[in-house]
């Protein structure tokens, strides 16, 4: 009876022939990843064109968190705009405060006191560690490892306690401002910082044993999402995404600011597996290297912080007569190395106290642009690994 039914259906016979010959036809499908998805690290929508488990194309769609941040900057005095910079990259508020303040100071000719510069370096490097801890913890979570998340947030909580003691805030600080720092650190604060560094530095090898060298984690991230040195430069990548591809470029070394040229530290870059004790399953420019550069950067930030504590001078922390100062009819552009890469602010003055143009160059926005190029012909499970290794913050992407 079955044979009769099949013989009466030529299309069924044709499909059976194809299966016998291995010629199976598949159909592509569009899958929305986000905008509310735990692996997109914010309100990011990625449209995936899939063929079974293979991702043929990944197209990011942004704009869900747009708040007209740049236009607001053209309606406020610079010192009033500092709180808005916190909310661009809300995991690195101190670094964003510093970047905008430096641009205003260069345009207006404001000189920051020596103590203010050292305090800026201290808080910028502390925030770099705090940001990388979030990246370390959440990236492990994306790959299925829950424990690193708990370790990372345990240490980050200590940094936030230090921030809260200094400025009263734990996420959006508005502490580093035009002219220096808003106010001095409380008595005994540097001693607390030294105690934290003594506690934290031995933890980094523990993180590496827990996650970085974990066999499953290496398999999930090694040789996945490889970005060549040439592609990293061509797509305008910066920060760990650029250095993970072997390009040793860091603004703290290349174009120092706030006295970074006087500190002794190294710029970590990605490497091929099997060298210097690295796992053999990794390759230059892959997801693992982008992740591991951040782990190495935390060690360097500890080095910088110890030097800054030792040289912290006495004196004021902020320049005089900053509020209400008029901006000359000129323009400037200043970049700093924030945890995700080069964060730049362009400011144009017209002789009044309010800028006529404010423009931000965000590292997350530029780094995210390579997603379509690198997330091509990969497995569906590799997409969270690739996006997580880029480490985007959507408040800074959309602005």
**Whether the predicted pLDDT of 200 surpasses 70:** yes
Whether 96 and 104 have beta carbons less than 8 Å apart is answered as: no
Strand runs labelled E in the chain: 29-33, 36-37, 42-43, 45-51, 54-61, 176-177, 180-181, 331-338, 341-348, 357-361, 378-379
Q: Domains in the chain, please, with CATH?
A: 78-323+380-398 (1.10.645.10)
Bridge partners, 193 (sequence order): none
Query: What secondary structure letter does DSSP report for 126?
Result: H
- Segment 361-395, tens digit of pLDDT: 999 999 999 999 999 999 999 999 999 999 999 98
**Whether the predicted pLDDT of 54 surpasses 50:** yes
- Residue 24, pLDDT score: 64
Sign of CA dihedral 131, 133, 139, 141: negative
Share of the chain above pLDDT 70, in %: 94
**Whether the predicted pLDDT of 341 surpasses 80:** yes
**Whether the predicted pLDDT of 9 surpasses 70:** no
- Segment 228-280, tens digit of pLDDT: 999 999 999 999 999 999 999 999 999 999 999 999 999 999 999 877 788 88
- Residue 22, pLDDT score: 57
What's the rounded Cα separation, in Å, for the pair 263 and 312? 13
Whether 192 and 162 have beta carbons less than 8 Å apart is answered as: yes
Matching residue, tokens 């203010």: 116
Q: Spell out the residues 6+ positions from residue 109 whose beta carbon is closer than 8 angstroms to its own.
A: 328
Whether 351 and 336 have beta carbons less than 8 Å apart is answered as: no
- CA-wise closest residue to 145 among 89, 197, 213: 213
What's the rounded Cα separation, in Å, for the pair 203 and 364? 27
Long-range pairs, 291-294, Cβ under 8 A, ≥24: 291/135, 291/136, 291/139, 291/212, 291/221, 291/244, 291/389, 292/212, 292/244, 293/240, 293/243, 293/244, 293/268, 293/269, 294/132, 294/135, 294/136, 294/240, 294/339, 294/391
183 phi, psi to nearest 5 deg: -160, 170
Bridge partners, 31 (sequence order): 48
- Segment 271-327, tens digit of pLDDT: 998 777 888 899 999 999 999 999 999 999 999 999 999 999 999 999 988 888 899
Q: Spell out the residues 6+ positions from residue 283 whose beta carbon is closer than 8 angstroms to its own.
A: 222, 223, 226, 272, 273, 289
179 phi, psi to nearest 5 deg: 100, -10
Q: For the chain, what is the radius of gyration of the CA atoms? A: 24
What's the rounded Cα separation, in Å, for the pair 312 and 7? 89
- Residue 16, pLDDT score: 42
How many helices (H) does the chain have, and how many strands (E)? 18, 11
What's the rounded Cα separation, in Å, for the pair 161 and 158? 5
């Amino acid at each position: 009876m079955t044979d009769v039914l099949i013989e009466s259906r030529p299309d069924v016979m044709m499909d059976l022939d194809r299966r016998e010959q291995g010629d199976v036809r598949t159909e592509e499908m569009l899958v929305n990843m986000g905008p509310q998805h735990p692996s997109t690290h914010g309100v990011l929508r990625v449209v995936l064109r899939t063929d079974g488990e293979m991702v043929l194309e990944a197209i990011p769609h942004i704009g869900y968190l747009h708040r007209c941040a740049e236009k607001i900057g053209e309606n406020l005095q610079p010192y009033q705009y500092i709180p808005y910079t916190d909310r661009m990259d809300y995991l690195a508020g101190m670094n964003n405060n510093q970047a905008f303040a430096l641009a205003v100071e260069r345009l207006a000719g404001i000189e920051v006191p020596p103590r203010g510069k050292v305090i800026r370096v201290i808080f910028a490097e502390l925030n770099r560690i705090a940001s990388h801890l979030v990246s370390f913890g959440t990236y492990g979570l994306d790959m299925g490892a829950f424990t690193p998340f708990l370790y990372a947030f345990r240490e980050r909580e200590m940094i936030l306690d230090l921030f809260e003691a200094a400025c009263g805030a734990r996420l959006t600080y508005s502490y580093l401002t035009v002219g220096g720092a808003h106010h001095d650190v409380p008595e005994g604060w540097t001693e607390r910082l030294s105690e934290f560094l003594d506690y934290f530095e031995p933890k980094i090898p523990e993180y590496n044993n827990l996650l970085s060298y974990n066999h499953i984690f290496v398999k999930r991230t090694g040789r996945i999402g490889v970005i060549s040195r040439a592609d990293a430069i061509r797509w305008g990548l910066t920060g760990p995404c650029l250095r993970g591809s072997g390009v040793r470029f860091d603004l703290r070394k290349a174009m120092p600011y706030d006295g970074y040229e006087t500190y002794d530290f190294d710029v970590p870059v990605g490497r091929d597996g099997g060298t210097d004790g690295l796992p053999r399953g990794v390759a230059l420019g892959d997801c693992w290297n982008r992740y591991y550069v951040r782990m190495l950067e935390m060690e360097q930030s500890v080095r910088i912080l110890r030097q800054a504590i030792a040289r912290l001078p006495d004196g004021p922390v902020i320049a005089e007569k900053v509020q209400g100062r008029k901006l000359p009819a000129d323009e400037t552009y200043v970049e700093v190395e924030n945890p995700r890469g080069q964060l730049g602010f362009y400011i144009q003055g017209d002789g009044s106290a309010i800028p006529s143009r404010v423009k931000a160059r965000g590292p997350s926005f530029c780094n995210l642009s390579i997603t379509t190029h690198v997330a091509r012909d990969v497995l569906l499970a590799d997409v969270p690994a690739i996006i997580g290794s880029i480490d985007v913050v959507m408040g800074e992407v959309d602005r």
